[in-house]
Structure 1
Amino acid sequence: MWKNRNVWIVLAGEFIAGLGLWMSIIANLEFMQQKVPSDFMKSLILFAGLLAGVLFGPLAGRVIDTTSKKKVLLISGAGRLVSVCFMFVALYFDSIWWMVLFAVTLQISAAFYFPALQSVIPLIVKERELLALNGVHMNAGTIARILGTTLAGLMLTVMSLQGLYVASFVAYVALLASTAFLNVPEPDLQRARGADEGAAAVPGGEPEQAENGRRGSDPAAQAPPAEQSGFKALLPLLRSEPIVLTVLWLTLVPTLFIGGFNLMVINISELQHDAQVKGLLYAVEGISFILAGFLVKWMADRGGLMNRLFLFAAIVAAAQCLLFFADSKLCALLSFGLFGLAAGGFFPAAATLFQKQIPKAYHGRFFSFRSMLDRVVFQVVLLSTGLLLDFIGLQLMVLVYGVLSFVLVAVFAVREARSVKKDRAEASF
């Protein structure tokens, strides 16, 4: 895998994109803090970008499945550059409306870029290397988040906001340049529009057989062409792949933690009367997340993907319950460390399962759908966390989230065990 040039280009692109994105985010927050006194107005500005990304999700999925994925990555990368130009105009005219346009165009570009990138990954490596690449890919994004926020904070002390956006623009130019060297061995695009997945080319020229012997016998394989069906084609596919629905539900468990992450950090700091604990919590979570990414290859040989996903989700639930003792610094740090390890293992495993179970002809639409779902659920969790923190406080809230997470894990684990038992019984006849 490490001799594959495409792998290095994808990882470098994710790292560079992350640096640019997080520098932009820190700069945006600083700009809003100077120009927008109302917290509600700040949330509306952020929500405008999110809504634009959700609305363009269906179009993004259809385009990714019927167009060269490299072309989609290049055009969406160019869209990032255009969005930063809008921010330069916002700074020049001291206008918040140009910043809204920046947020909208950036999120629209992201709606195309990230699902396309998820669709590219299974095309550039062999199936047995997917989990390892997903883990390292997620680590590249995490390291970029840590370095991007740190660098942006330091840069704000020595330069203006305009200088920070210039740095972000340079990062996006480097991303666009690196993407131009990507060589994606895509199957014939006309055939990709059809329902039959067929043999997908992998580096080395050997055909990769479809997962679980899917070769036209799957109900989803009879779906209409991609350009006609859009997200509707996913319905029979999801019905025929209950394991995918199970993992989508399980993703709610770490999202309950992530959605209220910043709010919980602030409340823990207030509970312990210690401002420095915020930095410690972020550091412990980030280091644990990265460590899990490096261990993901070792975990690949120990148990099936579903077993590990249930284990990681259960650990996240335990980490949530442990925050009931958030007034203790040791318990708070242990909770965030456990979450980092579990989330760092959960998300690469989930991405690998999706890439294997979903036919490649549907990857664009599926990952666009998942991106939309993640954005909506994240906002719901964020609002719910804020309300619960106001009404019942941090310690009772995390207990509610923890119990809910354990219930979700238990229900779907029992359902999965019954399904496996039924399949074995049918196979024995």
Structure 2
Amino acid sequence: MLRNKNVWILLTGEFIAGLGLWLGIIGNLEFMQAKLPSDFLKSLLLAAGLLAGIAVGPYAGRLTDEASKKTVMLIAGFVRAISVIFMLIAIATGSIWWMVVFLVLLQISAAFYFPALQAALPLIVAEKDLLQLNGIHMNASTLSRIIGTALAGILLVVLPLSMLYVGSLIAYIALFILTWFLNIDETRDRQTAPKNGSEKTSFKEVFPIIKGLPIVLMTLIMTLVPVLFLGGFNLVVINISELQDSAAIKGWIYTTEGISFMLGAFFIKLISDRISPYIILFACSFLIGVSQLLLYLADVPALTIVAFAVFGFSVGCFFPTAATIFQTKVPKEFHGRFFSFRNMLDRVTYQIVLLISGFLLDLIGLQLMCVLFGGLSVIMTIVFYARHRYIQTHIANHNN
């Protein structure tokens, strides 16, 4: 698999794009902090881009299934590069409205790019290599997050804010150039696709597919378990820092979680041949719940680090496994619409969890909120495991 040119193009592109993304995210926070004193206005500004991405999601899914994945990725990459220009205008003019244009274009490009990318992965490697590719791909993303945030912090000290976005622009242009060199064989993917323009695909067609594949539906719902932690991740880290009266703990938490995630994504390849992917999902989901419960003792630095190490390792195993299930169980002709729907679902649930986390942190505090979320995660895991065993037993009895 690692001799495949397409694999290296995608991995390199993911790393470079990730650097550009995190340079931009840190820059966004810096610009908003200077221009918007209200946290509520900041959330509204970020929500504008989010809603734009959700709005174009159904069309993005249909287009990804009907058109070339590479073409969709190229157009999305071009729009993403253009969006940075509007942020540079926002900095030059001091206008927050140009930042709105930047965020809207950025989220629209992401709504097209990521479903096309997920749909392209099964077309460039054999099915047996998908889990390993998903793990390495997510590791490239995590590594770019760790390096990108650290680099942005250094650049903000020595360079003007606009240079962060110049760095993002360079990264996005590099990704656009790399995407040109992709060589994806989409003939198999198109064998069951519409043969002419008179037969149009519908975004709604993906819902009966999901309903008819119980393992896909169950995996889709189970992704809510890590989202319960990830949605309010930054708020949790800030509250832990305040609880322990330590600014340094934030760095330790992000570093621990990132490294543990990478270890989990490498480890999953070693055990995937011997353990059912469904058992891996249930075990990781349970460990995510345990890591949340451990944060009841968030005032103890050592246990805090242990909790985030367990969480990082668990999601490092969970997400590549879930992605592989989706890529192998959902028919390829529906990949664009399915991954677009999943992208929309993720965006909505992350925002809901973020709002709920903020409310609960004010209402009951960090430690009780973590117990509540951890208990809910464990209960969801047990319920879905019991249902999975019931389905397996029913199938076995029916076959006999």
Q: What TM-score do the two structures reach when normalised by structure 1?
A: 0.91
Give the structure 2 partner of residue 202 of structure 1.
none
Matched to 2:5, the amino acid is R
Quote the Cα distance in structure 2 between the aligned partners of 1:31 and 1:287.
29
CA offsets 1:297-316 (integer angstroms, 9 cap, x no match): 10212211111000000000
Give the structure 2 partner of residue 86 of structure 1.
86
Quote the Cα distance in structure 1 between the aligned partners of 2:319 and 2:332.
19
- 2:142 maps to 1:142: yes
The within-5 A match list for 1:255-266 is: 255-266=227-238
Measured after TM superposition, the shift of residue 266 of structure 1 is 1.0
Give the structure 1 partner of residue 354 of structure 2.
382
| Aligned residues of 1:142 and 1:286 also touching (Cα < 8 A) | yes
| Aligned residues of 2:59 and 2:203 also touching (Cα < 8 A) | no
Report the secondary structure of 1:193's partner residue. Answer: coil
Matched to 1:150, the amino acid is A
Measured after TM superposition, the shift of residue 188 of structure 1 is 6.1
| Aligned residues of 1:388 and 1:397 also touching (Cα < 8 A) | yes
CA offsets 1:255-289 (integer angstroms, 9 cap, x no match): 00101111111111111121211111111111100
Cα 1:226/1:162, change in 2 over 3 Å: farther
Number of residue pairs matched by the alignment: 400
- 2:152 maps to 1:152: yes
- 2:351 maps to 1:395: no
When the two chains are superposed, the root-mean-square deviation of aligned CA atoms in Å is 1.5
Quote the Cα distance in structure 1 between the aligned partners of 2:56 and 2:275.
38
Matched to 2:261, the amino acid is F
Give the structure 2 partner of residue 209 of structure 1.
none
| Aligned residues of 2:23 and 2:148 also touching (Cα < 8 A) | yes
Quote the Cα distance in structure 2 between the aligned partners of 1:164 and 1:402.
37
Report the secondary structure of 1:157's partner residue. Answer: helix
Matched to 2:209, the amino acid is L
Give the structure 1 partner of residue 119 of structure 2.
119
Q: Which runs of 4+ in 1 moved over 4 A?
A: none
Q: What TM-score do the two structures reach when normalised by structure 2?
A: 0.98
Quote the Cα distance in structure 2 between the aligned partners of 1:397 and 1:367.
31
Quote the Cα distance in structure 1 between the aligned partners of 2:385 and 2:295.
24
The within-5 A match list for 1:285-304 is: 285-304=257-276
- 2:372 maps to 1:411: no
| Aligned residues of 1:66 and 1:226 also touching (Cα < 8 A) | no
Quote the Cα distance in structure 1 between the aligned partners of 2:136 and 2:81.
26
Give the structure 2 partner of residue 355 of structure 1.
327
Give the structure 2 partner of residue 170 of structure 1.
170
| Aligned residues of 1:66 and 1:192 also touching (Cα < 8 A) | no
| Aligned residues of 1:226 and 1:233 also touching (Cα < 8 A) | no
The within-5 A match list for 1:178-197 is: 178-187=178-187, 191-194=191-194
| Aligned residues of 1:66 and 1:189 also touching (Cα < 8 A) | no
Matched to 2:4, the amino acid is N
| Aligned residues of 2:66 and 2:201 also touching (Cα < 8 A) | no
Unaligned regions of 5+ residues in structure 2, if any?
Answer: none
Give the structure 1 partner of residue 161 of structure 2.
161
CA offsets 1:213-271 (integer angstroms, 9 cap, x no match): xxxxxxxxxxxx99634221112211210111101111011000101111111111111
Measured after TM superposition, the shift of residue 191 of structure 1 is 3.5
Q: Percent identity?
A: 54
| Aligned residues of 1:62 and 1:226 also touching (Cα < 8 A) | no
